[in-house]
Structure 1
Amino acid sequence: MNHPDRPGTANGDVAPPVTTAPMVPSVASFAGLELPPAVLRTLGERGVRELFPIQAATLPDSLAGRDVLGCGRTGSGKTLAFGLPLLARTAGRRAEPKQPFALILVPTRELAQQVTEALAPYAAALRLRMATVVGGMSIGRQAAALREGAEVVVATPGRLHDLIERKACRLGRVRITVLDEADQMCDMGFLPQVTEALDQVHPEGQRMLFSATLDRDVDQLVRRYLHAPVVHSVDPSAGAVTTMDHHLLLVHGPDRYAVATEIAARDGRVLLFLDTKHAVDQLTRHLRASGVDATALHSGKSQPQRTRTLAQFKSGQLGVLVATNVAARGLHVDDLDLVVNVDPPTDLKDYVHRAGRTARAGESGSVVTLVLAGQRREMSRLLTEAGIEPTVTKVRSGEAELSRITGAKAPSGTPLDGGPAAPRPKNTNAPFRGLGTSKDTSRGAGGRSRKAGEARKLAEARKAAMVRRGG
Structure 2
Amino acid sequence: MTFIKHLPEALQEHWQASGFSEPSMIQEKSFHPLQEKENLLGISPTGSGKTLAYVLPLLLNVEKDHGSQLLILAPSQELAVQISQVVRDWATLLQLKTQSLIGGANVGRQIEKLKKKPEILVGTPGRVLELIKTKKIKSHLLKTVVMDEVDQLFHDRELNLTKQILASAPTEFQLVFYSATADRVVEEAKKLTDQLTIIDVTNEDQSGGVVNHYFMALSPRKKSDYLRSFAYTPDFRAMVFFNQVADLGSVEDKLIYEGLTVVGLASDQNKTLRKLAIDQFSKKRAVMLLTTDIAARGLDFEAIPFVVNAEVPLSEESYIHRAGRVGRMGAAGSVITFVNDATKRDYQRLMKKIELPSKEIFLYDGAIHLNRKEKNTVEKKHSKTKLPHKKDPVTTQQPSKQTAKPKKRPKSNKNKGARRKLSQPEA
Letter in 2 for 1:65: K
Alpha-carbon deviation of 1:207? 1.5
Q: 1:293 aligns with which of 261, 281, 289?
A: 261
Letter in 1 for 2:9: P
Per-residue CA deviation, residues 319-372 of structure 1 (Å, 9 max, x unaligned), is 211111111112101110100001211211100011111111121100000111
**Bigger mean CA offset, 349-358 vs 161-170:** 161-170
Distance in 1 (alpha carbons) for counterparts of 2:360 and 2:247:
25
Distance in 1 (alpha carbons) for counterparts of 2:324 and 2:181:
12
The answer as to whether partners of 1:105 and 1:179 remain within 8 angstroms in 2 is: yes
**Aligned-partner SS, 1:246:** strand
**Bigger mean CA offset, 394-403 vs 135-144:** 394-403
Report what 2:16 is aligned to.
44
Letter in 2 for 1:28: T
Cα-Cα RMSD = 2.6
- Return closer, same or farther for 1:340/1:166 CA change in 2, 3 Å cut-off: same
The answer as to whether partners of 1:289 and 1:421 remain within 8 angstroms in 2 is: no
Distance in 2 (alpha carbons) for counterparts of 1:178 and 1:272:
29
Q: 2:245 aligns with which of 258, 269, 277?
A: 277
Letter in 2 for 1:71: I
The answer as to whether partners of 2:243 and 2:314 remain within 8 angstroms in 1 is: no
Letter in 2 for 1:356: G
Letter in 2 for 1:234: V
Report what 2:151 is aligned to.
183
Alpha-carbon deviation of 1:83? 0.6
Alpha-carbon deviation of 1:214? 2.1
Normalising by the residue count of structure 2, what TM-score does the alignment of the two structures yield?
A: 0.84
**Bigger mean CA offset, 74-83 vs 273-282:** 273-282
Per-residue CA deviation, residues 411-436 of structure 1 (Å, 9 max, x unaligned), is 73699xxxx85659xxxxxxxxxxx9
Alpha-carbon deviation of 1:398? 3.3
Report what 2:225 is aligned to.
258
Alpha-carbon deviation of 1:394? 4.3
Q: 1:71 aligns with which of 18, 37, 43?
A: 43
Q: 2:402 aligns with which of 403, 412, 420?
A: 412
**Bigger mean CA offset, 116-125 vs 38-47:** 38-47
Normalising by the residue count of structure 1, what TM-score does the alignment of the two structures yield?
A: 0.77
Alpha-carbon deviation of 1:266? 2.7
- Return closer, same or farther for 1:253/1:116 CA change in 2, 3 Å cut-off: closer
**Aligned-partner SS, 1:369:** strand
Pair 1:230-2:197 in alignment = yes
Pair 1:87-2:87 in alignment = no
Letter in 2 for 1:369: T
Q: Which runs of 5+ in 1 are unaligned?
A: 1-26, 425-435, 437-471
Report what 1:247 is aligned to.
214
Distance in 1 (alpha carbons) for counterparts of 2:21 and 2:184:
35
The answer as to whether partners of 2:239 and 2:306 remain within 8 angstroms in 1 is: yes
Letter in 1 for 2:4: F
Per-residue CA deviation, residues 185-213 of structure 1 (Å, 9 max, x unaligned), is 22362101111112223322222111111
Report what 2:271 is aligned to.
303
- Return closer, same or farther for 1:103/1:78 CA change in 2, 3 Å cut-off: same
The answer as to whether partners of 1:29 and 1:56 remain within 8 angstroms in 2 is: yes
**Bigger mean CA offset, 41-50 vs 369-378:** 41-50
The answer as to whether partners of 1:252 and 1:396 remain within 8 angstroms in 2 is: no
Letter in 2 for 1:385: K
Distance in 2 (alpha carbons) for counterparts of 1:335 and 1:180:
22
Letter in 2 for 1:412: Q
The answer as to whether partners of 1:68 and 1:209 remain within 8 angstroms in 2 is: yes
Letter in 1 for 2:25: P
- Return closer, same or farther for 1:422/1:45 CA change in 2, 3 Å cut-off: farther
Distance in 2 (alpha carbons) for counterparts of 1:311 and 1:215:
32
Q: 2:109 aligns with which of 114, 134, 141?
A: 141
**Aligned-partner SS, 2:307:** strand
**Aligned-partner SS, 1:287:** helix
**Aligned-partner SS, 1:412:** helix
**Aligned-partner SS, 1:172:** helix
Letter in 2 for 1:30: I
Per-residue CA deviation, residues 432-456 of structure 1 (Å, 9 max, x unaligned), is xxxx9xxxxxxxxxxxxxxxxxxxx
- Return closer, same or farther for 1:173/1:368 CA change in 2, 3 Å cut-off: same
**Percent identity of paired positions between Structure 1 and Structure 2:** 27
Distance in 1 (alpha carbons) for counterparts of 2:317 and 2:332:
20
Distance in 2 (alpha carbons) for counterparts of 1:410 and 1:422:
20
The answer as to whether partners of 2:323 and 2:335 remain within 8 angstroms in 1 is: yes
Q: 1:127 aligns with which of 95, 118, 121?
A: 95
Distance in 1 (alpha carbons) for counterparts of 2:163 and 2:195:
18
Letter in 1 for 2:44: G
Report what 2:2 is aligned to.
28
Alpha-carbon deviation of 1:386? 0.2
Alpha-carbon deviation of 1:242? 6.0
**Aligned-partner SS, 1:148:** coil
- Return closer, same or farther for 1:144/1:306 CA change in 2, 3 Å cut-off: same
Per-residue CA deviation, residues 42-93 of structure 1 (Å, 9 max, x unaligned), is 2222222320111011112112221211001121100001111111110x43
- Return closer, same or farther for 1:135/1:414 CA change in 2, 3 Å cut-off: farther
Per-residue CA deviation, residues 7-61 of structure 1 (Å, 9 max, x unaligned), is xxxxxxxxxxxxxxxxxxxx53511xx3222222222222223201110111121
- Return closer, same or farther for 1:395/1:155 CA change in 2, 3 Å cut-off: same
Distance in 2 (alpha carbons) for counterparts of 1:83 and 1:54:
12
Alpha-carbon deviation of 1:95? 3.3
Q: How many residue pairs were aligned?
A: 387
Per-residue CA deviation, residues 135-161 of structure 1 (Å, 9 max, x unaligned), is 111011111111221100001001111
Distance in 2 (alpha carbons) for counterparts of 1:209 and 1:386:
22
Letter in 2 for 1:277: V
